[in-house]
Amino acid sequence: MGGGELQQTVHIHASKRSFWLWFLQRVSSVGLIVVLLFHMIVLHYVDPSAEITLADTHVRLQSFLFIIVDSLLLGFGLFHGLNGVRNVAYDYFPKPGTRKAISSILLIVGVVVFVWGAFVLVNLVLAG
């Protein structure tokens, strides 16, 4: 950590991964703008006095549209959020070893939470 002084480095190798992560950060952000606006407006601001109940949520999730929107929200949100954390962490932790550890932890967290979230969502759709 720290050690931010400029060091002599010659970068000659392209890194496709850093390009794709940057690019997908943009793609997921566009997706999130659409999906998150839909989610927030429909659930909280069309009828702000409506109370959210398990039964209503179950009924709502019988609609294909809501299943798609909620799944995309989970996927885009996790990717965009955790890749964002990676971007922030990479700025402050320049050492390759630390970065690798951060990347691995974020990847594991992302996969585990996505699987768990999908599991909860399926459970909501089926059982309510």
Partner 1 sequence: MAGHSGLGYYLRRVLRVSLETGTMAHLLHRVTGLLIVVYLFLHIGAMSYTYFDAGSGFDDLMATFASTPFLIVDLVLFAGVMIHGLNGLRIMLFDMGYFSRRQKELFWVMMAIAATSVLIATWLVGAAHGWW
Partner 2 sequence: MITALTLQELDVENVVLRGVIDLVVFRIFRFDPARNDAPTFQTYDLPDTAGMTILDALIHIKENMDSTLSFRRSCRSAICGSCAICANGKNLLACNTQVNDLKKVRITLEPLPGFPMMRDLVVDWEPFFDQYRSVKPYMVARSTPPEKERIQDQKTRKAYDEAAQCIMCSACTSSCPVVWTDGNYLGPAALTKAWRFVADDRDEITRERLAMVNNEEGVWRCHTIFRCTDSCPKKIDTAGSIESLRKKIIWHQLTGRI
Binding-site ranges for partner 1 (CB under 8 A): 1-5, 26, 29-30, 32-33, 36, 40, 44-45, 47-49, 51-54, 57, 74, 77-78, 81-82, 84-85, 88, 92, 113, 116-117, 119-121, 123-124, 127-128
Nearer to partner 1, 33 or 65 (CB): 33
Query: What letter does residue 63 receive in the DSSP assignment?
Result: S
Binding partner selected for residue 8 from partner 1, partner 2, none, CB under the kind-specific 5 to 8 Å limit: partner 2
Binding partner selected for residue 16 from partner 1, partner 2, none, CB under the kind-specific 5 to 8 Å limit: partner 2
Q: What is the CA radius of gyration of the chain?
A: 19
Q: Give least dist CB 34 to partner 1, A.
A: 11
Q: How many whole angstroms separate alpha carbon 126 and alpha carbon 6?
A: 56
Q: How many whole angstroms separate alpha carbon 52 and alpha carbon 44?
A: 9
Q: How far is CA 108 from CA 29, 104, 105, in A?
A: 21, 6, 5
Binding residues (CB under 8 A) for partner 2: these are 2-16, 18-19, 21-23, 87, 90-92, 94
Task: Say if residues 67 and 125 touch (Cβ distance below 8 Å).
Answer: yes
